[in-house]
Amino acid sequence: MHRRLQNVGLAMLSAGLCLAGVSSCRPAGGADASASGNDPEIWRFAIEESRGSVQHEYALEFKRRVEEKTGGAVQVKVYPYGTLGTSDHITELCHLGTIEFATASPGHLGKVIPEVQVFLLHFLLSDDQRTNHRALRDPDLHAALNELYRKKNFELLSVFSEGWQVWTTKTMIREPSDFDGFKMRVMTSPMLMEAYEAYGASPTPLPYSEVYSALQLNMIDGQVNPVFAIEKQSFYEVTDYMIFPRHAQFITTVTANRRFFEGLSPARRRMVNETIRELHEYVFEVQRRLNEERLALIKQRKPELNIVPELSDENRAKFRKASLHVRDEFVEMTGRDGERLLKRVLDAVEKAEQGQ
Ligand code: 6CS
């Protein structure tokens, strides 16, 4: 979309938020705003997923805890995917400060903060989910990332995994050569194009909301997402195979508008940080439970779906080998900052593997 038109659209979205009744409440404004009047202060939290997904449960729990801790002085309004547009719209609204909080997944945010695409590289993290969970909380990694987020007017609050990325496809994929000419839907960050081109596929970037119909109309041959999302968006209905290559995890980040965050009183800032810390453990359990439960549902609803729980070690090694040069492309695309970040992620995983 033309940049100018996009901005007009965003201005209309902002106006829409006021018309939706939010304007009748006191706007978010940190310490000063929280010291006057009896109306609750409203914090808006937009997520990139629909109701009943990992991000939705996360945002609802954030809301519950913040409202409880502030005795209702702050109320959090959660906007599920679609209510404020696509991931790109949500990111822009948080950047502008029209909303205070948003989830921003590297799969889309990479267009704004290229270095965050480090989390899109394949075979980078540990094979063990708990290890990755610890690594993603690494303070040095967080600080390095936050420096990049702040330059774009975001405050990075959290990085977490929503589970393994799983392919649902119309044909069987066992090894890279099976991807020859295969139209794979990817999120819209450029690194994902590189990642699947490395296997010989033809990657097709699309917003989340367009994936189901693109599969249905045979415009694409497959897509990649965690199990809970495959069930929630019904992608399994329009594909024949569900393959678990364990090549990457779906990583997301939680952000706040930087000006809003810095304008909060120290006590409020501490409360947000404390809540975010508490939610790191909480969300690990949520993604584990949702991915497990939804897999059982999919099996029950579509018994004829071919589920491939793992690739052979030999084929997995072929994918790993094909993926490695994408790390060089990442460094080429992101320069010194990207290179340093890549090293930090690898160090954080190593430290977590050693139980530090
Ligand atoms: O594939 C996507 O575009 C989306 N998938 C998930 C699991 N969350 C948000 C993201 O936009």
Which of the four pLDDT bands, split at 50, 70 and 90, describes residue 4? very low
Task: Write the residue with the smallest CA distance to atom 9 of ligand 1.
Answer: 48
Q: How far is the CA of 162 from the centre of ligand 1 (A)?
A: 10
pLDDT tens for residues 334-345?
Answer: 999 999 999 999
pLDDT of residue 11: 42
Angle in degrees, 0-180, between the axes of helices 325-353 and 139-151, rounded to the nearest 10? 140
Q: DSSP secondary-structure letter at 53?
A: S
Pocket test for ligand 1, best of 185, 196, 208, 215 (most atoms within 8 A of CB): 208
Residue written as tokens 């000419």?
181
Instruction: Answer yes or no: is pLDDT of 15 > 90.
Output: no
pLDDT tens for residues 83-113?
Answer: 999 999 999 999 999 999 999 999 999 999 9
Atom nearest to 224 CA in ligand 1 = 1
**CB within 8 Å of 81: residues ≥ 6 apart:** 47, 48, 49, 50, 53, 87, 208, 209
Q: How far is the CA of 323 from the centre of ligand 1 (A)?
A: 21
pLDDT of residue 344: 97
Atom nearest to 229 CA in ligand 1 = 7
Pocket test for ligand 1, best of 47, 48, 50, 57 (most atoms within 8 A of CB): 48
**CB within 8 Å of 229: residues ≥ 6 apart:** 49, 53, 162, 235, 250
Instruction: Answer yes or no: is pLDDT of 275 > 80.
Output: yes
Task: Write the residue with the smallest CA distance to atom 4 of ligand 1.
Answer: 208
Mean predicted confidence (pLDDT) in 251-271: 98
CB 73: neighbour CB atoms within 10 A?
A: 15
Q: Of 128, 131, 127, 86, which is closest to residue 109 (Cα–Cα)?
A: 86
**Taking the model in full, what pTM does it have?**
0.91
Q: How far is the CA of 81 from the centre of ligand 1 (A)?
A: 10
Which of the four pLDDT bands, split at 50, 70 and 90, describes residue 33? very low
